[in-house]
Structures are given as structure tokens and as C-alpha cells.
């Protein structure tokens, strides 16, 4: 059983109130408001399965969309999963992943899956920084370089979108056992289940100002500019013993 199946097992069949697929982010309303990055694939204009009647499904049924090979489906599925999280999880900390990466990566080799905007400001803090991107920017490595470089990093930072795009377990397989592993981004499920996969820090968000978030998502506001979310981190050390 993979991580998505484990996450789905925890989802209860709440009614689905609404689904919003924005250009940058997807929202699902059930028990709470769940958010995930909107993933797009090829060919273009491939619809979400059953679009137009998604609120006729239970949340469990919608969460299973995360298993799809259609990126839009998986975005909806992850937002559905996230609409039930963090649930009754304890030890929620208001820590931004940027702060944690700076602290854990100081004078060490850091590898990041995904080019996050804050990385350029932090580069000088690290002994070495490897950024792996599907569409590389200047100085970035390509995804195909992950097997060559990731096994040697001290801090591995993995985008939460690796879960719905079904590369999470493969990426983890390239990390060394004693590296500090962080999963981050709006798609990241705030679930201790990730600790079972060797993750040390789970950095995601909780939607706090729902009306504001709806308006911003509908108006194509990139996630980094969204107002009304709270950055939350779960640390493995708080769950040990």
C-alpha cells in the first residue's frame, strides 16, 4: 500500500459541499476547506472526471481521485484529503518551512525538489544547493539528475506535489538514510502518516479565511501571494516516544 492509499483510508465519507479548480490552486469543501496545487498535464483540456456533479460524491470517493493518472483529478483528490486535515493531530507548530530549511541546512548540502521562490535568498546559507526542476531555471538541475545528486545531500526538501504526481516514494528512495527530510507546500497533507516514510518535518497550510481564499483562487492568485492561510509544521521529534 502506498502513501496515497494510506491517506485515503483515514478519510471519512463526509458530504462534498463544493469544489473549485483555480489556475494555481484547487479547493475542496467538506469538513474543512482543503487546498492543493492545481497540477496540469498533457494533453490540454482533459477534464476532471465527473466534473459538474462532484458534489454528488462522498469525500472518500473524491479523495480516491488522487490515485488517477489525470493531474487535475489528483489535484482534486489531494484537496479532498487535505479538507480533513490536520484533524486531531497534536503538536501543530507555526513554523514556516523557509525558516526550518535555513536552520537545518546551515553550512550543509541541501537538495530541493521544486524551485521555491525563497531559495535564492537562502543559497548563501548552504555549503551547496541543488534545485531539481521539471522546467529548470538558470542554475537548476533537471529531474533526471535526482538519482545522481540527491543521495549525497544532508537535507532533502521535497515538494508536496510529489505525492499526487506519484513520485514521492521514488524520490525518497534516492535520499540517504540519515538526511533530514522535509515535505512542504500547500499540497502537503498534514498527517503523521508521512513520518512512517522517514520524513522529519511536514510543512503545509491550513485555510483560515475561507471567503478571502475563494476570491483569490478564483482570481488566479499564485499560492505565494495568498492571504488567509496559516503555515503549519509537524515535527517527527514531537511524535517519538
114 shares its domain with 147? yes
Whether 213 is covered by a domain: the verdict is no
User: Which strands sit side by side in the sheet containing 155-159, from one edge to the other?
Assistant: 141-142, 128-133, 109-113, 155-159, 180-184, 201-207, 229-235
Query: Residue 122: which CATH number?
Result: 3.40.50.11590
Same domain, 234 and 129: yes
- Judgement on whether residues 13 and 56 belong to the same structural domain of the protein: yes
Task: Please tell me which residue, 50 or 139, carries the higher pLDDT value.
Answer: 50
CB 190, CB 86: distance < 8 Å: yes
For residues 43 and 136, membership in a common domain is answered with no
Q: Which residues contact 67 (CB under 8 A, 6 or more apart)?
A: 4, 5, 8, 74, 77
What is the domain range of residue 232?
97-208+228-238
45 with 138, same domain: the answer is no
Q: Average per-residue pLDDT in the chain?
A: 95
- Clarify whether residues 75 and 119 are in a common domain: no
- The model's confidence at residue 241, banded by pLDDT at 50, 70 and 90, is low
Predicted local confidence at residue 43, as pLDDT? 72
Q: Count of domains in the chain?
A: 2
Evaluate whether residue 221 is within a structural domain. Answer: no
pTM for the structure as a whole? 0.95
Furthest CA-CA distance within the chain = 52
In terms of domains, do 155 and 48 share one?
Answer: no
Inside any domain, residue 214: no
pLDDT digits (tens, 9 = 90+) for 53-75: 999 999 999 999 999 999 999 99
Q: Are residues 134 and 233 in the same domain?
A: yes
Amino acid at each position: 500500500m502506498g502513501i496515497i492509499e494510506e491517506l485515503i483510508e483515514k478519510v471519512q465519507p463526509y458530504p462534498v459541499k463544493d469544489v473549485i479548480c483555480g489556475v494555481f490552486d484547487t479547493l475542496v469543501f467538506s469538513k474543512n476547506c482543503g487546498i492543493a496545487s492545481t497540477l496540469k498535464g498533457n494533453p490540454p483540456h482533459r477534464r476532471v472526471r465527473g466534473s459538474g456533479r462532484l458534489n454528488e460524491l462522498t469525500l472518500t470517493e473524491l479523495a480516491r481521485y488522487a490515485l488517477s493518472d489525470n493531474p487535475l483529478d489528483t489535484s482534486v483528490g489531494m484537496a479532498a484529503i487535505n479538507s480533513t486535515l490536520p484533524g486531531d493531530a497534536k503538536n501543530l507548530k507555526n513554523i514556516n518551512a523557509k525558516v526550518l530549511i535555513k536552520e537545518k541546512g546551515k553550512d550543509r548540502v541541501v537538495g530541493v525538489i521544486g524551485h521555491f521562490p525563497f531559495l535564492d535568498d537562502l543559497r548563501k546559507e548552504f555549503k551547496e544547493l541543488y534545485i531539481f526542476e521539471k522546467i529548470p531555471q538558470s542554475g537548476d538541475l533537471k529531474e533526471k539528475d535526482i538519482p545522481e545528486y540527491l543521495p549525497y545531500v544532508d537535507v532533502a526538501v521535497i515538494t508536496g506535489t510529489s505525492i499526487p504526481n506519484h513520485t514521492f516514494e521514488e524520490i525518497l528512495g534516492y535520499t540517504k538514510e540519515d538526511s533530514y527530510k522535509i515535505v512542504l507546500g500547500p499540497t502537503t497533507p498534514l498527517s503523521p502518516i508521512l513520518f512512517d516514510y522517514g520524513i522529519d518535518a511536514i510543512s503545509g497550510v491550513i485555510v483560515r479565511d475561507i471567503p478571502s481564499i475563494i476570491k483569490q483562487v478564483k482570481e488566479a492568485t499564485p499560492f505565494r501571494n495568498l492571504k488567509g492561510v496559516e503555515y503549519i509544521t509537524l515535527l517527527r521529534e514531537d511524535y517519538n516516544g
